A and B are shown apart, each in its own frame.
Chain A
Amino acid sequence: DVKVTQSSRYLVKRTGEKVFLECVQDMDHENMFWYRQDPGLGLRLIYFSYDVKMKEKGDIPEGYSVSREKKERFSLILESASTNQTSMYLCASRGQGQNIQYFGAGTRLSVL
């Protein structure tokens, strides 16, 4: 079974803090994704990566950056957290040539 692990289930941070969300997958997938999920808006893509050190902006990259130094790990960084970044963050991965994305358990981030 594909396993996508997000390091934290719940996080509470203060406005202006730098926040790191970590995601690790164990299936040697080339593609990894970060989404945020808000009520009524569904999942929106923040960034994705198709290879080590490669990244592409999604629909809502503003205020976020990402890092992929190793194939299995994809990190989402909030450089200076703001209250409007309070959300559920979901990481996903997908193997090359496949079209199914597998999701981690999610991190519920609250920025106070």
Chain B
Amino acid sequence: QKEVEQNSGPLSVPEGAIASLNCTYSDRGSQSFFWYRQYSGKSPELIMFIYSNGDKEDGRFTAQLNKASQYVSLLIRDSQPSDSATYLCAVNRNDNNNDMRFGAGTRLTVKP
């Protein structure tokens, strides 16, 4: 079992729809959770982080965390073609900031 699992996709949504990206993790000691966006051929850029159970909203993005289920998700509202990218879920294993585990990423395509 991978430590951080994501559906590789591709996930395709029409412009204006809600895109839902999911991630599960295996280490119950993890306390910090991150979503990075990576355009093709580019480096990952942080778009959201979440530490507490529940929802955290930032503009069109909402991160959701459920530690009991070891599940974190990212919702993108009003999806735009510019959101087309690979989204990486990352988790600090055992709350160690030097031990970040990444999922393999979900490729999202937003069709005009």
Contact = CB atoms under 8 A, between A and B. Distances in A.
How many B residues touch the partner, as a band? Answer: 20 to 34
Given A40-B104, A42-B88, A99-B32, A56 B98 contact: yes
A105 B103 contact: no
A43 interface: yes
Interface stretch (B39-47, B52-60, B64-72, B75-83): B39-47
Interface in B10-51: 32, 34, 36, 42-46, 49
A43 B88 contact: yes
A94 B45 contact: no
B34 A50 contact: no
A48 B98 contact: yes
User: SS class of chain A's interface: helix, strand, loop or mixed?
Assistant: strand
Contacts of A105: 42-43
A106 B42 contact: yes
Counting chain B CB atoms within 10 Å of each CB, which of A40, A43, A56, A105 scores highest? A43
A75 interface: no
Given A40-B104, A42-B102, A43-B102, A99 B42 contact: no
B98 A50 contact: yes
B10 to A, nearest CB: 13
B92 A99 contact: yes
Task: Rank and list the top 5 A-B pairs by shortest CB-CB distance, nearest first.
Answer: A42-B104, A43-B102, A103-B43, A42-B102, A99-B97
Interface of B: 4, 8, 32, 34, 36, 42-46, 49, 88, 92, 97-100, 102-105
30 contacts: A40-B8, A41-B104, A42-B105, A43-B44, A43-B88, A43-B102, A45-B99, A45-B100, A48-B98, A50-B98, A56-B98, A90-B43, A90-B44, A94-B97, A94-B98, A98-B97, A99-B49, A99-B97, A100-B34, A100-B46, A101-B100, A102-B46, A103-B36, A103-B43, A103-B44, A103-B45, A104-B43, A105-B42, A105-B43, A106-B42
